[in-house]
């Protein structure tokens, strides 16, 4: 059901052999403004040829090439004239298939792990312009024992005779180390040499050019059909909306269900961002309905389920009013694609529902215009398309919104208190210049009350918790070391400006053992 966007850019294919760093390799290539895709090693040579790649990279992998069932590749790939760079397992596989010998390094204590002094032959195009002694990151239990015919060594370490190999005539290169990790000091130069000098790439991958070709393709695909998009106000759905609006304008309708549990002013911000963009934008203010459904519920799982269900009902009612819909847009991005099947495009998410969309809205096909992009590319694309900065740099925000940041039952008054307190916290983080270095920060209204003294009288009010984390991928996170004077300012302002709070605590747990959100 999902649609793969072909594209007209020069292409590098990254053949995945199960390495830990496959995404990182793809990132490194894209950073050099060269488009690449990760594909499974099971992809046939015919399919690879049909894609007309300018070069191919084999990733590392946990297996040993000399074992019977380890991932292999058809020998034919080496005689196509397409440059290939094998990394670690990829280099070993190349050497093995071409008739060299790979053996277990541990028997002869030749395994290497971590930063390793490596001597390189700078006459090789692969190492051009680099200094001849360098640090490379190693991680291997096997090693190339004997070179295949036609290959020469172009790097060595104290333990490894063939730390890099070259078959110049056939444009084949292999490195035992990992140029994609930052610990390999000249790794990006190496990749650049491969991509630019050996594959002849010109680096034509920019978000401007992507936007242009995506718009064209969407137009061809959609024709005069009608398109529906569920807009959450998150980065991905907002950027997808801008792209679709540019491509098919009037034929697109966006539905934004405002459940009343957004941050302060956020519903209006989302609406304003799309107000002048020419998008058919429908905002459904469903706060009352959501509050009613949530009344008296304090169990976090129940809250989430209720919100998911109500969301679907509201969305469905609105979608039905629109009549026939041909295409539904989803904001799937590339890490979702890679993670769900080692680059194996066939197995991917036809059932994946962004934002809990109903399965039963009737449509012909799903359009996923961001499915080739990494998150930072989506942000760049958003800026290119003129999306408002607040939306481009919006922090991750849970679908159920503030409902899972109010511990215990939810009331309109608690939502108001939390919105106000959270807004002050965010404002002060921005004022302190910390908004990019702290990856996510927000307030939580606990269900604890405590005694305070305010204006010489007793108070018995809510305890508010502040949470700030630093993280690169949101899988693990550390609590942010926010300076005390910033916290002090936040605390004073909140207690003074927001009624109902007389105590504020800062969450100093990491993930794990905690999660970033409280519920």
> ω before 513 within 30° of 0 (cis)?
yes
CB of 94 to ligand GLN, least distance (A): 12
356 DSSP 8-state letter:
G
CA distances, 85 to each of 15, 37, 59, 404, 496 (Å): 10, 15, 9, 48, 62
Can 241 be counted among the known catalytic residues? Answer: no
124 binds ligand GLN (CB under 6 A): no
d(CA 306, CA 201): 51
End-to-end CA distance of the chain: 34
Interface with ligand GLN, residue 142, by CB under 6 A: yes
Length of the chain, please? 519
Residue placing its CB nearer to ligand GLN in the complex, 37 or 142: 142
In angstroms, what is the minimal distance from the CB of 41 to ligand GLN?
A: 13
- Is 141 a binder of ligand GLN (CB under 6 A)? yes
The site string for ligand GLN over 5-44 (x = CB under 6 A, - otherwise) reads: --------------x-------------------------
Give the whole-angstrom CA distance, residue 460 versus residue 59.
Answer: 60
**Residues pairing with 172 in the sheet:** 84, 167
Beta carbon of residue 107, minimum distance to ligand GLN (angstroms, whole number): 13
Active site residue 180: yes
Residues 6+ apart with CB under 8 A from 456: none
Active site residue 88: yes
CA–CA separation, 362 and 516 (whole Å): 36
CA distance 379 to 385: 10
Cβ 391 to ligand GLN, closest distance in Å? 39
Site for ligand GLN contains 139 (CB under 6 A): yes
Site for ligand GLN contains 140 (CB under 6 A): yes
Catalytic residue among 9, 178, 259, 462: 178
* Member of 1, 6, 62, 101 binding ligand GLN (CB under 6 A): 62
* CA torsion angle 189 195 197 202 (round to 10): -110
Q: Is 64 in the site for ligand GLN (CB under 6 A)?
A: yes
Cβ closest to ligand GLN, residue 65 vs residue 211: 65
Catalytic hit among 10, 37, 166, 180? 180
Spacing of C-alpha 264 from chain mean position:
26
In degrees and rounded to multiples of 5, residue 14 shows phi and psi of -105, 110
Report the nearest approach of ligand GLN to the CB of residue 65 (Å): 8
Task: Looking at residues 68 to 107 of the shown chain, list those that interact with ligand GLN (rule: CB under 6 A).
Answer: 88-89
Residue numbers at the binding site for ligand GLN (CB under 6 A): 19, 60-64, 88-89, 139-142
Instruction: Give the active site residues.
Output: 88, 178, 180
């Amino acid at each position: 059901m999902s649609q793969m966007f072909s594209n007209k850019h020069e292409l590098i294919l990254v053949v995945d052999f199960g390495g830990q760093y496959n995404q990182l390799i793809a990132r490194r290539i894209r950073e050099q403004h060269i488009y690449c895709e990760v594909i499974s090693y099971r992809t046939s040579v015919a399919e690879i040829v049909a894609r007309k790649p300018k070069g191919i990279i084999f990733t590392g992998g946990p297996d040993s090439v000399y074992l019977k069932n380890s991932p292999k590749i058809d020998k034919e790939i080496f005689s196509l004239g397409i440059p290939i760079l094998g990394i670690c397992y990829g280099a070993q596989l190349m050497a093995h298939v071409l008739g060299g010998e790979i053996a277990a390094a541990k028997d002869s204590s030749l395994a290497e792990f971590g930063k390793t002094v490596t001597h390189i032959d700078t006459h090789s195009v692969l190492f051009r312009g680099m200094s001849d002694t360098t640090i490379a990151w190693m991680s291997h239990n096997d090693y190339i024992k004997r070179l295949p015919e036609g290959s020469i060594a172009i790097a060595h370490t104290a333990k490894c005779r063939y730390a890099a190999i070259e078959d110049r005539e056939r444009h084949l290169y292999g490195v035992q180390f990992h140029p994609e990790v930052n610990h390999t000091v000249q790794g990006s130069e190496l990749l650049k040499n491969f991509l630019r000098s050996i594959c002849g790439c010109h680096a034509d991958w920019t978000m401007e050019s992507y936007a242009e070709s995506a718009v064209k393709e969407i137009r061809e695909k959609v024709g005069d059909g009608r398109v529906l998009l569920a807009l959450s106000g998150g980065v991905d759905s907002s950027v997808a909306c801008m792209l679709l609006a540019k491509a098919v304008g009037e034929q697109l309708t966006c539905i934004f269900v405002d459940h009343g549990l957004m941050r302060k002013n956020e519903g209006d911000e989302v609406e304003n961002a799309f107000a002048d963009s020419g998008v058919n934008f429908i905002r459904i203010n469903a706060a009352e309905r959501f509050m009613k459904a949530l009344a008296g519920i304090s169990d976090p799982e129940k809250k989430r389920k209720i919100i998911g269900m109500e969301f679907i009902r509201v969305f469905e009612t609105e979608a039905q009013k629109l009549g026939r819909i041909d295409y539904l847009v989803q904001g799937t991005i590339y890490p979702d694609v890679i993670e769900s099947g080692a680059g194996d495009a066939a197995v991917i998410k036809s059932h994946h529902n962004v934002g809990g969309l109903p399965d039963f809205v009737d449509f012909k096909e799903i359009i996923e215009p961001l499915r080739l992009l990494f998150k930072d590319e989506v942000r760049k694309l958003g800026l290119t398309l003129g999306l408002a900065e607040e939306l481009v740099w919006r922090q991750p925000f849970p679908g159920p919104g503030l409902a899972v940041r109010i511990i215990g039952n939810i009331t309109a008054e608690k939502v108001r208190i939390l919105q106000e307190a959270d807004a002050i916290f965010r404002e002060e983080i921005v004022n302190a210049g910390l908004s990019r270095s702290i990856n996510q920060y927000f307030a939580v209204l606990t269900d604890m009350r405590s005694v305070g003294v305010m204006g010489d009288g007793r108070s018995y009010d809510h305890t508010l918790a502040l949470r700030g984390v630093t993280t690169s991928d949101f899988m693990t996170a550390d609590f942010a070391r926010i300076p005390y004077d910033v916290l002090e300012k936040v605390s004073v302002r909140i207690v003074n400006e927001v009624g109902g709070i007389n105590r504020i605590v800062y969450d100093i747990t990491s993930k794990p053992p905690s999660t970033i959100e409280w519920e």
